[in-house]
Amino acid sequence: MLYFEQEESGGLSLALQEESTKTGKATSAGMYFLQFQVYRLDTTANTVAIARDPDAAFFKRLDGFQPCELSELKAGQHVFAVYGDNFFKSASYTIEAVCAGPFVEAKEELREVEAQILTKRVELSKFESEYREVLAQFTEMTARYSQEMQF
C-alpha cells in the first residue's frame, strides 16, 4: 500500500510504503495515523544474523520493532494506492478507513504495550551482552577443564 503527499508543484511524492504480509489465505497491509508515534514489527529483520547464530533468534527478535514514518494525516484530500503482482491473475483488494477518535482506550493501551515492548527490547540487548560475556567465560573454562583432564 502506498501513501502520497501533495507537492507544492502539484505533483505527488511517495511518503509511505507498507508491504503486505500473509494472514491466512489473504495478505494485508496497514497504515495507522493516530497522532502519536506507532510501531510495526518487521519479522524479516536480522534473518541473516539469526541464521548464522541461533542465540540471535532470541536476542534479536524485537530488533524489527521499528517506528512508522508518519503518525498523522492533516485535514484534506489524500492519495493512497495499492500495487501488486497481477500479471498472471487479477487482484482484488479492500481499503478500509476507520476514524480512531472513538477508540481512546484502545489507543492508550496501544501506547502502553508499545512502551513495554521498547523497554523489553532494551532489556534483551543488555541481557545479550551479559550472556555473551558469561558464555565466553564458560567456553574458556570448559576448554581449560578439558586440558587439565588430559594430565
Condensed to tens digits (0 to 9), the pLDDT of residues 38-74 reads: 888 877 766 776 778 888 888 888 888 888 877 788 8
CB 14, CB 4: distance < 8 Å: yes
pLDDT tens per residue, range 94-120: 888 888 888 889 999 999 999 999 999
The burial class, CB within 10 Å (0-12 / 13-18 / 19+), for 45 is middle
DSSP H/E element including 22: strand 21-23
Q: CA–CA separation, 21 vs 93, rounded Å?
A: 14
pLDDT-derived band at 86 (thresholds 50, 70, 90) equals: low
CB 39, CB 68: distance < 8 Å: yes
Determine the structural domain holding residue 95 and report its residue range.
Answer: 2-149
Q: CA–CA separation, 70 vs 72, rounded Å?
A: 6
pLDDT value of residue 117? 96
| Residue 16: strand pairing partners | 3
pLDDT tens per residue, range 65-82: 888 877 788 888 889 988
Residues contacting residue 59 through CB under 8 Å, at least 6 positions apart: 124, 125, 127, 128, 131
Q: How many domains does the chain have?
A: 1
Share of the chain above pLDDT 70, in %: 95
pLDDT value of residue 19? 84
Query: What pTM, to 2 d.p., does this model score?
Result: 0.71
